[in-house]
Chain A
Amino acid sequence: MLTTPALDYNLLAPILIVLGGALLGVLVEGFIGKAYRARIQIIIALIAVATAFGWVISIRTKISQVAAVDSVSIDGGGLFMQGAILALAFVALLFFTQNDHFAPQASALPGSIEEAEAIRSGLQMTEIYPLVLFAIAGMLLFPVAHDLITLFVALEVLSIPLYIITGLARRRRLLSQEAALKYFLLGAYSSAFFLFGGAFLYGFSGSLSLGVIRTTVASTGANHIFLYLGVLFISVGLLFKVGAVPFHSWTPDVYQGAPTPVTGFMAACTKVAAFGAMFRIFIVAFGAIQNDWRPLFVGVAIITMAGGAIAAIVQRDVKRTLAYSSITHAGFLLAGVIALSKAGLTSLMFYLVAYGFATIGAFGIVTLVRDSTGEVNDLNRWAGLAKKSPGVASAFALFLMSFGGIPLTAGFIAKFSIFTAAYESGNIAIVVVGVISSAIALFFYLRVVLIMFFKEPTDDTVSVAVPSFLVSAGIVICFVITLVLGVYPNLLFNLANTMTTLVP
C-alpha cells in the first residue's frame, strides 16, 4: 500500500503562492481584454509576491526543517534568501509598470508586418508578468533545494522564463533577441554541465540528497574521481548563473539586450538565488573537502573581481558598465562563499540585499533616462544630467557609490563584512585583490558621477521621463534602503546573523 508523502504545504507555501499567481496571470492573459489586462496583471504579481513575503515572515522561526520528503530544506539561510528574493522582486516589479519597455507582441518577428500591426493597434501583450512570477518561484526553490534533482528543476524553472523575457525589449529588438538566444544557448550548456555533475555525484554517493553526499564524503574519504568531477561540473553550472569569470561572457550582452526593468530584476534576484544555492551545496555537501575546491574558487574569485573591474573601464554603455560591475560583485560575493563560515554566510546575505537594492534602483533610473526615441544608454549623452534632474542624478550617484563601497552606503558595510569574513578564514589574497579591484572599479563609478555632475550638458543630452508614482516609489525605496543600511546596518545585519542555520 502506498502512503502519501507529507509535503508540509505550510513550508512550501511561499513558492506555491507565487506559482499560483503565475497561473492566474496566464488565465488573465487569455481571458481579459486589453483595457484592464496590464493593470490586473501587475496587481496579481505584486499581491502574490507580497503574500509570499508575508508567509516567509510568518514561518521565519522554523529555521531547521525539511519538507517535501527531504527534498526541500527550510532553514534560516534558505528563508532569508527567500525573503530577500521576494523583497527585491517586489521592488523590481514596480519598474515593470512601464509597459513601453516591452515588445507589444513577443511572437512577432522584429520588423515584421505583424509587429507593425501590433504597434499600430496599440496591442500590448502582458505575458511578461506570469513569466516573471514563474522565474521568482524557481528562484525561491533554488536556495532551499536539498537534493540535486530539485536543484536542477529549480534552476530550469528560474532560467527558462528569464531566457524568454530577455528577448522582449520593445526597442532594439534584434539586439534583445540576440541576447536572449545567447543566454539560452549558454544557459542550456551550463545546465547540462550541472546535470552532468549531478550524475557523477550520484555515481559517487548513490544518492541525490545533499545530506547523503555529505555523509559519503565524510565516510569514504575524499579521494574519488567521481566526486571531483561532480564538484567541478556543478561549480561550472553555478558559476555560470552568477556570471563569474570565465563563465561571464553572456552577462554584458544579456544585461544590455534585455528590457531594462528585466535587467534590474535579473541582476538582483538571480544572484541571491544562485549564491544561496551555491553556499548551501558547498557547505552542506562539500564542506569536508573544502581544502580541495577552495583554491579553484579563490582563483575564480580573483579573476572575476579583477576581470570585471578592468573590462568595465572601457565601456561606454551604461548597461554594459553595470553588467561588468555586476561581474566584479560576483567576485566579491564569492569571497563570502570561500569563507565558508557563519560570518561568511551573514555577510553574503547582507551583501546580496545591499547589492540587490542598489542594482534595481540603478537600472530603474536607467529606464527613465530617455530621448524622443526611447531609453538612452550611451554614457556620453548623460553629460550634465545633474543640471537637468539633480534628484535622479544624485540617486544614481548614491547607487554607484554603494557599488563602489564608499562609507555610509550599504555597499560599504557589505564589502567590509565580506572581506572581514574572508580575512578571518585566512584568505588574505582575496582581500588584497578585492581592495585593488575595488579601487579600479571606483574609477568607472566615479567617471559616471563626473559625467553626470561636472560635464556641461550638450545639445543631445537626454532628459528624464517623469516617473509614475510606482516607479518613483521603487527608486525611493532603493535609495532609502541603500542609505539606511549604510548608516545603521544593525537593522538587517542582526537579522542575518540569527538566520545562518543550514540543514545538514
Chain B
Amino acid sequence: MNLLTTTILLPLLGTLALALAPRGNTRLIKIIALISSLVTLVSSLLMLTKYKFGVTGFQLASSHSWFKVFNINYAVGIDGLALVLILLTTVLVPIVVVGGWNEAEGGRWSVKTFYMLILALEMFLVAVFAATDLFLFYVIFEVMLIPVYFLIGGYGRGDRAAAALKFLLYSLFGGLLMLAAVIGLFVISLRQGHGSFDVTTLSHLKISHNTQDWLFLGFFIAFAIKAPLFPFHTWLPAAARSATPGTSILVLGVLDKVGTYGMIRFCLTLFPEATKTFAPYIIVLSLLSIIYGAFLAIGQKDLNSLIAFTSISHFGFIVLGIFALTSQGITGASLYMVNHGFSTAALFLVGGWMVQRRKSTQVEDFGGLQRITPVMAWCFFIAGLSALALPGLSSFVSEFLVLIGTFTRYPAAAVIGTLGIILAALYVLILVQRSLHGPLQEGNEETPDLNWREKVAIAPVILALVLLGFYPKPAIHLIDPATSQIMLAAGASDPTPLAGR
C-alpha cells in the first residue's frame, strides 16, 4: 500500500485496537494510543525520507475511484506544504497523549472513548492535508469536526456542551457555504469537458470573473471561520475555555491550520483573479485580527481565553502573509503555521499543567510559581517568548518572513502589522509577570514541579521551537517549491524590490 495511505490508516488501526481493549484497563488504553501515535509518527517520518526535495507537484500520490457517477476519487498526494503540516500533526499527537496523560479522567465517557476520538481525529487531520480531490477534502473537512465536538462536549470544562455546539455550528455553516461553491466548481468543470474534483484539473478551468468572486467567497468564509479570522472568530475563545489542553492543542495547533492551508491550496490556486480582487479587503481583516486579538489577549483574565486570543492575532499574521501574494509571504505563512502549532502546544501544555495543579484557570490565581516550580515556569516562559516571536525562537523567522513579504506589496499593512509584535510582547510579558513572578499566591506553596512524564512531553516541543528558530532551512527548503508552484497557479509574481530604483 501507498505509504501516504498507510500513514492515514494507521491511526484508524489504533482506534480499532482501542475498541477491542477492555474498558477498565486505562493504562493499557493509554499505552495503545501512545504506540499507535508513535507508529504513525514513524510512518510520516518515512514519508519525509522518501520525499524528493525541490521537486514540484504532488508526491507519493495514489488515486482510487470512489464515487463513479461524479468522478470522485480517493486521491491523495503531498507537496512540501502538506508534508510539513502532516508532520506537525503526527508529532503533536504523541505529545498530546503523553502530556495529557490523565486529562481524560473525569470526563463524561470512558478514557477509551477519549483516545478513540483523538486517534480518529489524527486520521482525519492527516487525510485532510493529503487529499488532492476536492470532494474528499470537503468530506474530511466536515467529518473531522465530529470527534472534536465530542471531545469538547464530553471531556471539557465549564459550559462545554454550549461551546461544543457553537464550534460545530460555526464550522458546519462555513462548510455548507463551501459545499455550494464546491458544487458550483464541479458543474463548471462539467460544462467545460468532463466533471472532475481533481485539484490540479480544477485549477485549469476558465471561470468568469463574477462567478469566481462568488465561489471564492464560499471557500474563503469557510476557511476564515476555521482559521479563525476576525470577525468569524467568536467560537474560538469559548472552545478553548472548555476543551481539555490536549483537545485545544489539536484544535488550535492543527485543525485551525486547515483553514489557512485551504486558503493557500484552494482560494489562491483555484480563483487567482478573485484572490486579487479580495486581497486588499482580506489584508484589512487580517490586520484587524492581529490588533484585535492582541488587545483582547491583554485584557483576558482566563488563561485559556488568553491563549485563544493570541492565536487569533497569530492567525492574522498567517492570513496576512498568504494574501500578500509574495513568495516570502506565503513561505512565511506556511512556516508560521508549523511554528504556531508548536508554540500553542507549548502554551497549552504548560498552561494545562498549571491549571491542573491550581484547579483554576484565572491568571491572577497563579503567581510566584517561578520560585516553587522553576522547570514549569521556565517552560511556560519559553513558550511565551515563542508566542511573542523572540529572535532565536522559530516564530521569529516566520513572522519576519511574513512582514517582509507583506512590505514589498503593502508597506502600510506591514507597518501596522509590526504593531502586533509590540502588543504581543505586552500580553506575553504581562501574563508571565502575573503568573510566574511577583509574590507567591496563597495556595501555590505546595505546587509540585513537572514530573518526568511532563518533561518528556514538553522537551520535543521546546526543541522544535529552538531548532526551527536557529536553523529553519530544512523546513523552508521543503515549503519553497510548493510556494513557487502556488504563486505560479495564482498568477502572482513578486514585486521588484524598491531599493533598486
Contacts and interface: CB of A to CB of B under 8 A. Distances in A.
A420 B186 contact: yes
B383 to A, nearest CB: 31
B176 to A, nearest CB: 4
A423 B187 contact: yes
Contacts of B150: 453
Given A406-B143, A407-B139, A423 B172 contact: no
A464 B271 CA distance: 52
Interface in A368-414: 387, 401, 404-408, 412-413
Nearest to B160: A454
Contact of A419 (B68, B108, B180): B180
B284 interface: no
B460 interface: no
B180 A450 contact: no
A290 interface: no
A432 B180 CA distance: 7
Interface stretch (A61-69, A79-87, A486-494): A486-494
Contacts of B419: none
Task: Report, as a range, how many residues of chain B touch the other chain.
Answer: 20 to 34
Contacts, number: 87
B92 to A, nearest CB: 24
Contacts of A446: 165, 168-169
Interface of B is mostly: helix
Contact of A424 (B68, B173, B187): B187
B472 interface: no
A407 B183 contact: no
A419 B169 contact: no
Contacts of B165: 446-447, 450
Contacts of A489: 67
A293 interface: no
A17 interface: no
B501 to A, nearest CB: 47
A268 interface: no
B179 interface: yes
Contacts of B169: 439, 442-443, 446
A170 B168 CA distance: 39
A497 interface: yes
Interface in B78-114: 108
A442 B166 CA distance: 12
Interface string B172-205: 1100110110011011001000000000000000
B69 A494 contact: yes
A419 B138 contact: no
A431 B180 contact: yes
Interface in B322-379: none
Interface of B: 66-70, 108, 138-140, 142-143, 146, 150, 153-154, 160-161, 164-165, 168-169, 172-173, 176-177, 179-180, 183-184, 186-187, 190
Interface of A: 346, 387, 401, 404-408, 412-413, 416-417, 419-420, 423-424, 428, 431-432, 434-436, 438-439, 442-443, 446-447, 450, 453-455, 488-490, 493-494, 497
Given A417-B70, A450-B153, A493-B68, 15 more contacts: A387-B108, A407-B139, A407-B140, A407-B142, A413-B67, A416-B179, A419-B179, A423-B183, A431-B180, A435-B180, A438-B176, A439-B169, A439-B176, A489-B67, A493-B67
15 contacts: A346-B69, A387-B108, A405-B176, A408-B139, A412-B139, A417-B70, A419-B179, A419-B183, A420-B70, A438-B176, A442-B173, A454-B154, A489-B67, A490-B67, A494-B68
